[in-house]
Chains A and B, each alone.
Chain A
Amino acid sequence: DIQMTQSPSSLSASVGDRVTITCRASQSISNYLNWYQQKSGKAPKLLIYAASSLQSGVPSRFSGSGSGTDFTLTISSLQPEDFATYYCQQSYFFGPGTKVDIK
């Protein structure tokens, strides 16, 4: 099975900050990498698919990059509604998540 790791596991940031979250796969997965945002008590929400494609309706401050084994989710200017947990996913495997909270 493919193992997905994320770093950091949590971070504190301020509104307006640039935030970067990293996801690493245990073997090459080409660009088959998706990112989800999950707020407390809610279902995950698709943000980015195929490593860098922005899902319809998702603000452009979210972007994704990478291929092979190393991937990045970037929030260019953190907004109050962005405080949440972020998960990467490859096929049927999810990463452990990165919790973004208020500094």
Chain B
Amino acid sequence: QVHLVQSGAEVKKPGASVKVSCQASGYTYTSYGISWVRQAPGRGPEWMGWISAFNGNTNYAHKLQGRVFMTTDTSTRTVYMELRSLRSDDTAVYYCARDSGNAVFDYWGQGSTVIVSS
């Protein structure tokens, strides 16, 4: 059974960084990429970027280039998403999702709330 388990909620000050983890189980880890999707309060989902669990290749959303960084650790089957220079409008629930191909997100983590507030 596929599971994606994310790290817990975070409260950060503007300008700080946050690193969210997503540990995968129940499938061949290196056969799928992982995308990160965030959702601000009352808003629709917003794709942030994708990482290959096979070789670590990444593709980031244009608006987040230079602030978002995704890494993978095959030994622990964990993907990390770091967002730097946090602003108040980065307050959102952050989800990881398995990409089964062609940006079809078939399994999702439970979400990690990140609050950015002074």
A residues engaging B (CB < 8 A)? 32, 34, 36, 38, 43-46, 49-50, 55, 87, 89-97
Measured between C-beta atoms, what is the minimum distance from A49 to chain B in Å? 5
**Across-interface contacts of A50 in B (CB, < 8 A):** 102, 104
B111 interface hit (Cβ, 8 Å): yes
* Extra 14 A-B pairs, beta carbons < 8 Å, given A49-B106, A94-B45: A32-B103, A36-B45, A43-B95, A43-B109, A44-B37, A44-B97, A46-B105, A49-B100, A87-B44, A89-B103, A91-B103, A92-B47, A92-B103, A96-B44
B108 interface hit (Cβ, 8 Å): yes
Task: Name the CB-closest residue of A to B98.
Answer: A46
B82 interface hit (Cβ, 8 Å): no
Task: Name the CB-closest residue of B to A85.
Answer: B44
Chain B, interface size: which category? Answer: 10 to 19
Measured between C-beta atoms, what is the minimum distance from B3 to chain A in Å? 12
Question: Chain B's interface: helix, strand, loop or mixed, by majority?
Answer: loop
Task: Name the CB-closest residue of B to A96.
Answer: B44
B residues engaging A (CB < 8 A)? 37, 44-47, 61, 95, 97, 100, 102-106, 108-111
- Beyond A43-B109, A43-B111, A92-B61, whether A34 also contacts B104 by CB under 8 A is yes
Cβ-defined contact, A44 with B47, below 8 A: no
**Across-interface contacts of A43 in B (CB, < 8 A):** 95, 97, 108-111
Cβ-defined contact, A55 with B61, below 8 A: no
**Across-interface contacts of A55 in B (CB, < 8 A):** 106
Q: For B108, give its contact among A32, A45, A49 (CB under 8 Å).
A: A45
Measured between C-beta atoms, what is the minimum distance from B113 to chain A in Å? 10
Task: Name the CB-closest residue of B to A92.
Answer: B47
Interface-centre pick from B45, B102, B109 (highest chain A CB count, 10 A): B45
26 contacts across the A-B interface (CB closer than 8 A): A32-B102, A34-B103, A38-B45, A43-B95, A43-B97, A43-B109, A43-B110, A44-B37, A44-B45, A44-B105, A46-B104, A46-B105, A46-B106, A49-B106, A50-B104, A55-B106, A87-B44, A87-B45, A90-B103, A92-B47, A92-B103, A93-B47, A94-B46, A94-B47, A96-B44, A97-B44
